[in-house]
Amino acid sequence: MNNIDVSIIMGSDSDLSIMNECAIFLDQMNISYEMKILSVHRTPERAMEYAKELNERNVKVIIAGAGGAAHLPGVFAAMVPTVPVIGVPIYTKTLSGIDSLYSIVQMPSGIPVATVAINGAKNAAILATSILAIGNEELTKKLADFKKSMQDAVIAKDENLQELGAITYLNNIK
């Protein structure tokens, strides 16, 4: 079994396009991960096996995305009790992802899932990076550089707005 820092799990391949945003960010940060489709409803035994496996590996963060009756993050928080779990509520057509959000965020006391916004997969990866950066100077620097580049982008936009005015600015970004 290979060592990885982050396990990215999701309930269905219909979650993959969103959850892949985690992979893109972790790649940018050079953080090792693996991705798996696992359902605590449709493949309960397989999910339990993988949870057991994670307990034996040195995985540092689990990111779990699920939609609807989204039990995957909570069950993994219960089954892998010493590893932080970040839950990503996936948007649903029926209830706009509110179902996923409430299912993931309302964990009982003692079994937390750090829940990001609906479809907030990139933020889940950023939060995972912050956790992994504790005591890791190189990763802290990479994360700080990323935050700085975000700041610079906002400042550049404001400078553009001041220079062009709102109408020209909006015409330019159409």
- Which residue is it, tokens 């982008």? 153
Residues 43/76, Cβ–Cβ less than 8 Å: no
| Beta-strand relationship, 6-10 and 33-37 | parallel
Identified binder of ligand RP5 from the candidate list 68, 74, 89, 120, rule CB under 6 A? 68
For ligand RP5, which is the closer residue by CB, 44 or 165? 44
Applying the rule CB under 6 A, the residues between 84 and 143 that interact with ligand RP5 are 90
CB of 153 to ligand RP5, least distance (A): 31
Residue 67 makes contact with ligand RP5 by CB under 6 A: yes
Q: Which residue among 16, 20, 35, 39 contacts ligand RP5 (CB under 6 A)?
A: 39
The dihedral region occupied by 159, where left means phi > 0, alpha psi between -120 and 50, and beta the remainder, is alpha
Burial letters 43-75, b for 16+ CB under 10 A, else e: eeeebeebbeebeeeebbbbbbbbbbebbbbbb
CB of 12 to ligand RP5, least distance (A): 3
3-state class (DSSP) for residue 1: coil
Whichever of 68 and 74 has its CB closer to ligand RP5, that residue is: 68
Tokens of 67: 């939609």
- Total residues interacting with ligand RP5, rule: CB under 6 A: 10
Among 7, 12, 103, 129, binds ligand RP5 (CB under 6 A): 12
Q: Least CB distance from residue 67 to ligand RP5, whole Å? A: 3
CB of 122 to ligand RP5, least distance (A): 17
- Smallest gap from residue 160 Cβ to ligand RP5 (A): 38
* CB-nearer residue toward ligand RP5: 8 or 29: 8
Q: Are 90 and 116 in contact (CB under 8 A)?
A: no
CA distances from 67 to 17, 40, 96, 101 (A): 13, 12, 10, 8
